[in-house]
Structure 1
Amino acid sequence: MLPEVNLRPPFNITRASHVVLHVADLAKSREFYVNIVGLVVSDQTEDTCYLRGLAEACHHSLVLVQSQGAATCKRIGFRVFFEEDLDLAYAFFKAEGLPAEWAEVAHQGRTLHVEDPYGTKLELCASMETRPRMYLEIEKFKGAHGQRLDHYQIFSPDTHASCAFYSRLGFRNSEYLAHGDQLLGAFMYRKGTCLDLAIVQNDGPCLHHFAYTVSESHNIFTACDLAGIYGYSASVERGPGRHGPGGMLFVYLRDPDGHRVELFNSHYQTIDIEIEPVRWDAATLSTNVRWGLPAPHRWYFEATPFEGAVQIATASPPKPETLETYVQKLSAAQP
C-alpha cells in the first residue's frame, strides 16, 4: 500500500519552514495574521510582510506578497540541514527532469526553487536570518499566540505517486487514509513529529492549508472569538474540533484572500524507526473522531492554487460526507 521510504535520501530535508502567499491587501492580511493568529512581524517593505511565530528564531515562516492578480501560493518552503544539501537537491531534481533554479530571496541564505512531479512549487534553503524568540514576552502577545509553523497539506491528483516521490526524499508516514487498496491521504514527516506534509487526493497541485501550533487549547477558542470581533466570523470554517489522524484539537480559518490556516495544539513524536504508520479507513474522508460534525463542502474541495501551476484533474475525486450532505440525511430521516 505505502511506497518504500528511502531512509538515506539524496539530500536532507529537516522540516517545513515557510510559506509565501500572494494577497490583495497587504495591510489587511497583516492585521489578520497579527491580531487573530498572533504572529510577529519581523520586517516589512512596501509590498512584502515577513512574519514568524512567538517560538520561532528564524526570520520568517509566513511571507505575504502584495499582488494585483489571483491569490495564489508562490512557494512552500522546506529547510535542508547543510549548504551542500542544496547542491545535492539541485542535482537530484535536474536528474529527474524537474525544474530547479537558484533564486535570490531576502533574509535567506542560498535558495533553490524546485517543483515536484505535479508542479507543487517548493523552496529549499539551509539558513535564514534570526531574530529573538518572543515566547517569554507575554506582555506583547496578541491573537491566538501562534508559536511555530508546523506543516502543510496539499492536493495531488495522485496521492500514491506523490507519496512515492516524497518517500524517496526521506519523508516517512505517520498515518494514512485508505479505501481498500487505494491511498487517498498520506501524512508525512521529516522533523520527528507526525507531520510536515499531508498529501490528499484531489485536483491539484493546490495548497489546502498551512498550520501553526498554539501552546494552550484555549488559544483555539481565542482565535474564534477574535475572528468574530474583527469581522471574520464567517471565516471560522471548521472546528473547533478534534482530528482522528494526529488526535489534535484544531480550528481552520480563512484569511482575507481565502487562504486557509489551521491552529492546533499538539503532535506526538515519531522519531523511532520501529514505529509503523497508522491506517485510517477513508471511506468518507472524514477526519473527525468520536465527536464533531463533518466539515463543509468547501473545506474538502476549495484550496489555493500554486502560482503558474497547471491544474490536473484527479481520476479518483474524493467523495466525503460533508456537512451539507449530513444535514440532508438528517432532514430526510425526520418524520
Structure 2
Amino acid sequence: MLPPVDLRPPFNITRTSHLRLNVADLAASRDFYTTVLGLVVTEEDHSTVYLRGLAEACHHSLVLEKSTDGGTARRIGFRVFFEEDLDEAYRYFRDRGLPAEWVDMPHQGRTLHVADPVGTPLELCATMETRPRLHINFEQYKGAHAQRLDHFQLLTPDVYELCAFYSELGFRNSEYLEYGDELVGAFMYRKGTCLDLAMVPGDGPSLHHFAYTVSESHDIFTACDFAGILGYGDQVERGPGRHGPGGMLFAYLRDPDGHRVEVFNSHYQTIDLETEPVRWDAASVSTNARWGLPALEQWYFEASPFVGAPLKSPAVRPAPMTLEKFLASPQLP
C-alpha cells in the first residue's frame, strides 16, 4: 500500500535540478564526464567544475568539487517554481524540526539547504543563470551526447517512511516494488515523466546513482566504448540492458571516484492524474531486467555517502539475485 499523495503540497518542487559531488582528482573527473558522457563545461576554476547536458539551459546540473573526501556526495538539488515556494519550504522544514538554512551559492538565486527525515542533504532554488542550449550544435558532440539530468536514486533504511515524506511534497509514484506487503522500491516524479527520485532499501541516506538521458539508444553503447578507451572499461558496472520497471535501455558506469552514473533513453509521460502507479512484485525475475544477466552484488549495496549524514541500516536487508549467485547456481551447465 502506497502512502497518500498531497496533490496541493505546501510548496511546489518542479523537478530534479542538480547535484554536488566531491572528487579527489578534478582533472580526471572532468575528463570522464566530458569525454564519456559528453557533458559540457559551463565554468571552472582550480577547485570546481560546473557541467551541464547538451539540452540544458541552466548553468549546471553537475558540480564537481575537489576534496580529500573524494567519493562522497554533498547534496542533491531540486527546483521550485516561485521564490515564495522557498519561503514556504523554509517554514515547512523548520516546523517539523528538520534542518533549514539560507545559503549563497554561485550562479543560483536564493538557495535553501534542508534535509529530509532520513538525513539526505537537499538544495532548493527557484532560479539559476542560463546559457544557450547546445543540443543542435552537433559539431560539439562528444561521448554519449548526454542531454539532461533526469533523476536520483537513494538508498534508505526505510523506503515507506521516505516515500511518505515525499508524497506529502506532491511526489507521485509511477511504479513501485513490493515484497509481499512491504514497500521495497518507490519511483517518484514531479516533472511529468516517470522519475525524479527513486528509493530502495540499503545503508543510507546514500546516493546510489544519478542519471542522464541520451537521445539515441546507440549513445548508451558509445558511453561504454569511451569508458573503455579511457581505461574505465571495468567500471562499466551494469548493462547495457533493459529495465523491467519502465522498460528503458540503460548502462551504469562508475566514475574515477566510484560515483555511479546511469545513461538511459528517457521515460514515458505520467502527468495525467488518472494515471495509476504500476505495482511490481520484487520476487519477479522481470523486475531485475527484461534480458541479460543480473547485476553484480556491489550494484545493489554500494553507494556514495553524503557528507555529514550518518548511515543507518534497514531493518531487513534485501537479498536480490546477483551475478555472483547466478553464476554459482547449480542449474548452470
Q: Which residue of structure 2 aligns with residue 101 of structure 1?
A: 101
CA distance in 2, matches of 1:284, 1:48: 43
Asked if 2 retains the 8 angstrom alpha-carbon contact of 1:175 and 1:245, the reply is: yes
1:40-55 equivalence runs, <5 A: 40-55=40-55
Structure 1 unaligned residues grouped into runs of 5+:
none
Which residue identity lines up with residue 203 of structure 1 in the other structure? D
Asked if 1 retains the 8 angstrom alpha-carbon contact of 2:41 and 2:50, the reply is: yes
Instruction: Measure how far apart 1:283 and its partner are.
Output: 2.1
1:213-224 equivalence runs, <5 A: 213-224=213-224
Which residue identity lines up with residue 29 of structure 1 in the other structure? S
CA distance in 2, matches of 1:129, 1:245: 35
For residue 333 of structure 1, give the secondary structure of its aligned residue in structure 2: coil
Instruction: State the TM-score, normalizing by the size of structure 1.
Output: 0.98
CA distance in 2, matches of 1:113, 1:308: 13
Q: Which residue of structure 1 aligns with residue 331 of structure 2?
A: 333
Instruction: Measure how far apart 1:155 and its partner are.
Output: 0.7
Once the two structures are superposed, what CA deviation does each residue of 1:135-184 show, in whole Å capped at 9, x if it has no partner? 11101110100000000000110000000000000000000000111000
Q: Which residue of structure 1 aligns with residue 167 of structure 2?
A: 167
Instruction: Measure how far apart 1:56 and its partner are.
Output: 0.2
Q: Which residue of structure 2 aligns with residue 90 of structure 1?
A: 90
Instruction: Measure how far apart 1:188 and its partner are.
Output: 0.1
Asked if 1 retains the 8 angstrom alpha-carbon contact of 2:241 and 2:290, the reply is: no
Which residue identity lines up with residue 333 of structure 1 in the other structure? Q
CA distance in 2, matches of 1:206, 1:107: 26
Q: Which residue of structure 2 aligns with residue 255 of structure 1?
A: 255
CA distance in 2, matches of 1:163, 1:282: 17
Instruction: Measure how far apart 1:287 and its partner are.
Output: 3.5
CA distance in 2, matches of 1:199, 1:284: 18
Instruction: State the TM-score, normalizing by the size of structure 2.
Output: 0.98
Q: Which residue of structure 1 aligns with residue 56 of structure 2?
A: 56
Closer, same or farther in 2 for the Cα pair 1:127/1:248, shift >3 Å? same
For residue 328 of structure 2, give the secondary structure of its aligned residue in structure 1: helix
Identity of aligned residues (%): 70
Q: Which residue of structure 2 aligns with residue 301 of structure 1?
A: 301
CA distance in 2, matches of 1:143, 1:200: 30
Closer, same or farther in 2 for the Cα pair 1:334/1:117, shift >3 Å? closer
Q: Which residue of structure 1 aligns with residue 152 of structure 2?
A: 152
Q: Which residue of structure 2 aligns with residue 69 of structure 1?
A: 69
What is the count of residue pairs matched by the alignment? 333
CA distance in 1, matches of 2:172, 2:111: 24
For residue 317 of structure 1, give the secondary structure of its aligned residue in structure 2: coil
CA distance in 1, matches of 2:314, 2:231: 36
Once the two structures are superposed, what CA deviation does each residue of 1:101-124 show, in whole Å capped at 9, x if it has no partner? 011100000000000000001000
CA distance in 2, matches of 1:198, 1:288: 15
Asked if 2 retains the 8 angstrom alpha-carbon contact of 1:10 and 1:88, the reply is: yes
CA distance in 1, matches of 2:262, 2:332: 35
Closer, same or farther in 2 for the Cα pair 1:223/1:164, shift >3 Å? same
Q: Which residue of structure 1 aligns with residue 39 of structure 2?
A: 39
Which residue identity lines up with residue 190 of structure 2 in the other structure? R
CA distance in 2, matches of 1:334, 1:275: 41
1:103-122 equivalence runs, <5 A: 103-122=103-122
Q: Which residue of structure 2 aligns with residue 6 of structure 1?
A: 6
CA distance in 2, matches of 1:220, 1:211: 12
CA distance in 1, matches of 2:305, 2:99: 18
Structure 2 unaligned residues grouped into runs of 5+:
none
2:287 is aligned with 1:322: no
Instruction: Measure how far apart 1:47 and its partner are.
Output: 0.2
Which residue identity lines up with residue 119 of structure 2 in the other structure? G
Instruction: Measure how far apart 1:69 and its partner are.
Output: 2.3
Once the two structures are superposed, what CA deviation does each residue of 1:258-305 show, in whole Å capped at 9, x if it has no partner? 000000002000000001000001126874343111100000000000
